[in-house]
Structure formats: structure tokens, C-alpha cells
């Protein structure tokens, strides 16, 4: 079976299923159709996947265990998520759910986050099914819903209620890793995600005395919440070094010829462009005010004022974050966590990661695999509760002039067809060699 051809078709068809995740809104409904689509493509190849309704009719996952030839080997999980962030069609060059093939790219929401990887997983599993191929160790395939809204109805639900799906799994491979960053013609870095920051999504509330807008009013909830938000937004978090980021920086220093001893870190980050934004966010805790809500009429001082803050926490620095935030908001503002999730860090010096590097080099002699941390979160957080070591490895060879990171959740998200074909070949070889 030609996986290079199959993966292009699968990617386009998946993108055309609008799986926009609007949270608890009734507009979030496409995941069910996408789950049935994935299950049907697997059934065509002779597999018998399970479609699982998690919470409500529209939240569905797909699970399949492919038995390996060595019954004593630990199982490997390969996972993807079916949902995408919403897109405003008027902003796009091509309609975001049309999966137009143009200029060597497939354009559409989910092209890199992460229906490209979903399609690669499907294409590999379909080839194995059609051709009777079996891996050495059990390979468990799971497609999750709800990753883009905190995974409550997806990976967290399945880990809590269906741990049987992950029996024997010690390692997992998922999104946000294995893509190329071109340094020069003979050197491309392929970051493998081994760590991610924790999540602290917060709701702040100031409650004071309501009153008439024309009166002197010293206990104003709007003023109180504004002060707290300003203190958080202006706070300069200290830089902290974790083992993953230290290793990542060492690799960047070697690849780019940067001497960290003689150059200020801010200069280094600026030189790295968008990559520098990623590195900078993994050198410190962050807390960004993102939403404000207060009042209902201009001449009425409201009782309550509310703000939301997106906090991200480095592994090992959770207590520092929580203590600092409580000091910044002050005594007159209450704090509620609306999403509180762990930071994770997996080892890089393992035989599985070595194999990732080896397979990448076999398909791209200029490849160098390096560990890195992402500032966001993935389904790996839920899986880590089962003591599964999680890695971001969605192999993709990117053109040197295309900024991978700006495609994530961005307008005109797109994936190169040749990069996709490269990725499915790498993934196939990796999973069979594991």
C-alpha cells in the first residue's frame, strides 16, 4: 500500500470535517464524525477499533491495540487529538475547512495541529492491516477529543475511566515534536518534546460595594481587579533553568555558534526569531491576563469584577508560581483555578529517543534530534498520571522558509505535502523498529 499517497488523502478528508472545539458550546460537535471516520478507515484495513463516547453524544474517542510479536515487551501508545481550534474563514487565503492543495501545501485548520499526525497514524495502521505487518511490541492507537479545551472530555476522562486501554504502556508518542528547523543546508534540528509546562488558568474576582457612578467611591471592584491584573501583567518572572531547557540550549549554542558566556540571553533569543519566543517562554513561569469582565451600565459601579489569567508553570517551580500569584493579587481579590494541570518532564537519554534520532537520520542525513520543552500543554499531561513517559514526535520535514510555530493556531495553517510524505515514512519505520 502506498502510504505516501494515502496520507495526503487522509489529511485532506480529516481537515474537511469541522471539529472546531468551542468548549461547552453546542457548536462543538464535529469530533463524533471524525471519530467515526477514523474507525471506518481502520475497519477497511481489517482492524476492529473501539469508538468510545466519553461525555455526551458529540465527544468520542477511537482506540485500537495492534498486538506485537513479543508478548513480553512493553506497549507503546501512539496518540492524536481530533479537535481543532476555531478559525475565522474571512481571514484565510483558502477556506479553513476545504483542505485545498496549493503550492505544494495542504491548507486548512488542523493541518499541523494535528490532523497531519492523525493521518500519518491512520496511514501506517492501514498499511499494516492490508499487508499483514506486525510490530515487535504492542502498539496502542488512541484518537482523543477535547485536547484544545483542556482534555477534560478526552484524555483525562479516558485515563480516569478506561485505564484498561493503556495496559502495559510505558511510553507514548504524540504531537509537537519531530519537525525540522533548518540551520544550514547540511543541518536540520528536529526537536523532540520531552517536557511541557504546567497549566494554571485562573479566574480572579474582586467583590466590593456597588454604588452610583457619580459618587465618591473608594472601594471599587473594577479598580481593584485592574490593579491586580496590572501587577500580574507587569511582573518580571525570574529565569529558571530546567534540565530539558539546559540540554536544548547546549544544542542551540553548538548548532548556531552562539557563545552564551559573551552574549546577553535577550540578544540570543532575539537572534533565534520565533524559536527564541519558544525558548524564552520555557526559561520562566508566565502569567498573562487574557479576559476582563465587569459592570453592566456606565453610571453603576458593579459589585463584582472578574479577570482571567493564563498561567504556565515550569517543572519544579509550581510552588514559586502559586506563592507569587497570591502575593500579586492582594488580599481583596479571590483566586479560583479553572484549569490546574501538571508540568511534565521525561528522560531524553533512552533507547526509544535514540531510535527516533536514528530513523530521522536515515531519512535525512542532516537531521539532529534535540530535546525541548513546550510552553503549552498536550494530552501527555493526562497520560503522565499513569506513569507513561511521553514524547512529542510527529515527524515533519518543513521547508526552510516556513515558520512552523506561526502555523500553530494561526491563520493560513498548512502542511507541506512532501513533508507529510517524509513524516509517514519516518513514523512507519520508527514504530516497526521500536
pLDDT tens for each residue of 302-357: 999 999 999 999 999 999 999 999 999 999 999 999 989 999 999 999 999 999 99
Query: How far is 18 from 64, CA to CA, in rounded Å?
Result: 23
- Would you state the pLDDT for residue 114? 96
| pLDDT reported for residue 260 | 63
- Assigned CATH topology for domain 3-177+344-363+372-433: Aminopeptidase (3.40.630)
- Taking domain 198-236+286-342, whether its CATH number is 3.30.70.3000 is answered by no
Ranges assigned E (strand) in 118-210: 139-144, 169-174, 181-184, 187-196, 198-207
HSE-CB of 303 using CA atoms within 13 angstroms: 0
Residue 263 pLDDT grade (very low, low, confident, very high; cuts 50, 70, 90): low
CA dist., res. 110 & res. 120, Å (int): 13
Residue 139 has pLDDT above 70, yes or no: yes
Would you state the pLDDT for residue 24?
A: 84
What is the predicted pLDDT for the residue at 2? 95
Higher pLDDT, 246 or 308: 308
pLDDT at 3 (0 to 100): 95
Task: Tell me whether residue 325 is exposed, middle or buried, using C-beta atoms within 10 angstroms of its C-beta: 0 to 12, 13 to 18, 19 or more.
Answer: buried
**Predicted pLDDT of residue 376:** 85
| pLDDT of amino acid 278 | 73
For the ranges 76-85, 240-249, 313-322, the lowest mean pLDDT is seen at 240-249
On whether the CB atoms of residues 111 and 407 are closer than 8 A, the answer is yes
CA distance 54 to 31: 11
Looking at residues 244-262, what average pLDDT do you find?
Answer: 81
Q: How far is CA 177 from the centre of its chain?
A: 9
pLDDT at 133: 96
Is the model's pLDDT at 361 over the cut of 60?
Answer: yes
- Residue 274: its pLDDT value, please? 67
Domain assignments of the chain as residue spans, ordered by start: 3-177+344-363+372-433, 198-236+286-342
Buried b (16+ CB within 10 A) or exposed e, 138-173: bbbbbbbbbbbbbbbbbbbbbbeeeeebbeebbbbb
> What share of the chain has pLDDT > 90, as a percent?
82
pLDDT tens per residue, range 31-76 = 999 999 999 999 999 999 999 999 888 899 999 999 999 999 999 9
Q: Tell me, what's the pLDDT at 412? A: 97
Residue range 172-211, pLDDT digits in tens: 999 999 999 999 999 999 999 999 999 999 999 999 988 8
With H, G, I as helix, E, B as strand and everything else as coil, classify residue 144.
Answer: strand
pLDDT at 126: 98
Specify the residue for cell string 535525512.
364
pLDDT at 89: 96
Give the per-residue pLDDT at 261. 64
Average pLDDT over all residues of the chain: 94
Q: What percent of the chain has pLDDT over 70?
A: 98
State the residue for C-alpha cell 517543572: 315
pLDDT at 329: 97
For position 262, what pLDDT does the model report? 57
pLDDT for 322 equals 96
Kindly report, residue by residue over 94-108, the tens digit of the pLDDT: 999 999 999 999 999
60-66 and 139-144 beta bridge pairing:
antiparallel
275 has a pLDDT exceeding 80: no
Say whether pLDDT at 15 is over 90. yes
Average pLDDT, stretch 125-137?
97
- Tell which residue, 107, 118, 166, has the closest CA to residue 140: 166
User: Mean pLDDT, to the nearest integer, of 374-400?
Assistant: 95
How sure is the predictor about 23, in pLDDT bands with cuts at 50, 70 and 90?
A: confident
Amino acid at each position: 500500500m502506498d502510504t505516501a499517497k494515502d496520507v495526503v488523502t487522509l489529511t485532506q478528508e480529516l481537515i474537511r470535517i469541522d471539529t472546531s472545539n468551542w468548549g461547552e458550546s453546542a457548536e462543538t460537535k464535529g469530533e463524533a464524525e471524525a471519530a467515526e471516520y477514523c474507525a471506518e478507515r481502520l475497519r477497511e484495513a481489517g482492524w476492529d477499533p473501539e469508538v468510545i463516547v466519553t461525555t455526551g453524544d458529540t465527544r468520542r474517542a477511537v482506540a485500537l491495540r495492534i498486538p506485537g510479536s513479543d508478548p513480553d515487551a512493553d506497549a507503546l501508545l501512539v496518540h492524536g487529538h481530533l479537535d481543532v481550534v476555531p478559525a475565522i474563514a474571512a481571514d484565510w487565503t483558502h477556506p479553513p475547512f476545504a483542505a485545498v492543495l496549493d503550492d505544494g501545501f495542504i491548507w486548512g485548520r488542523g493541518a499541523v495541529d494535528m490532523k497531519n499526525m492523525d493521518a500519518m497514524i491512520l496511514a501506517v495502521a492501514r498499511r499494516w492491516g492490508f499487508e499483514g505487518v506486525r510490530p515487535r511490541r504492542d502498539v496502542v492507537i488512541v484518537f482523543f477529543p477535547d485536547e484544545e479545551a483542556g482534555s477534560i472530555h478526552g484524555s483525562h476522562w479516558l485515563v480516569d475511566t478506561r485505564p484498561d486501554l493503556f495496559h502495559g504502556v510505558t511510553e507514548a508518542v504524540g504531537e509537537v515534536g519531530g519537525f525540522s528547523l533548518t540551520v544550514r543546508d547540511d543541518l536540520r534540528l528536529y526537536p523532540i518534546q520531552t517536557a511541557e509546562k504546567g497549566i494554571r488558568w485562573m479566574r480572579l474576582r474582586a467583590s466590593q460595594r456597588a454604588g452610583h457612578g457619580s459618587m465618591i467611591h473608594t472601594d471599587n471592584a473594577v479598580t481593584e481587579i485592574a490593579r491586580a491584573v496590572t501587577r500580574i501583567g507587569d511582573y518580571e518572572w525570574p529565569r529558571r533553568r530546567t534540565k530539558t531547557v539546559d540540554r536544548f540550549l547546549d544544542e542551540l549554542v553548538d548548532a548556531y555558534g552562539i557563545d552564551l558566556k559573551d552574549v546577553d540571553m535577550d540578544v540570543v533569543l532575539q537572534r533565534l526569531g520565533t524559536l527564541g519566543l519558544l525558548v524564552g517562554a520555557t526559561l520562566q513561569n508566565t502569567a498573562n491576563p487574557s479576559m476582563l469582565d465587569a459592570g453592566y451600565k456606565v453610571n453603576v459601579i458593579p459589585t463584582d469584577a472578574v479577570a482571567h489569567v493564563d498561567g504556565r508553570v515550569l517543572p519544579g517551580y509550581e510552588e514559586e508560581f502559586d506563592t507569587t500569584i497570591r502575593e500579586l493579587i492582594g488580599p481583596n481579590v479571590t483566586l479560583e483555578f479553572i484549569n490546574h494541570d501538571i508540568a511534565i518532564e521525561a528522560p531524553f537519554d533512552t533507547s526509544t529517543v535514540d531510535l527516533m534520532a536514528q530513523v530521522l537520520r536515515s531519512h535525512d542525513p542532516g537531521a539532529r534530534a534535540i530535546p525541548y520543552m513546550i510552553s503549552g500543554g498536550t494530552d501527555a499531561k493526562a497520560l503522565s498520571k499513569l506513569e507513561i513517559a511521553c514524547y512529542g514526535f510527529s515527524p515533519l520535514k518543513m521547508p526552510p522558509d516556513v515558520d512552523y510555530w506561526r502555523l500553530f493556531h494561526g491563520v493560513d495553517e498548512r502542511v507541506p505535502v512532501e513533508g507529510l510524505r517524509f513524516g509517514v515514512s519516518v513514523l512507519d519505520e520508527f514504530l516497526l523498529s521500536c
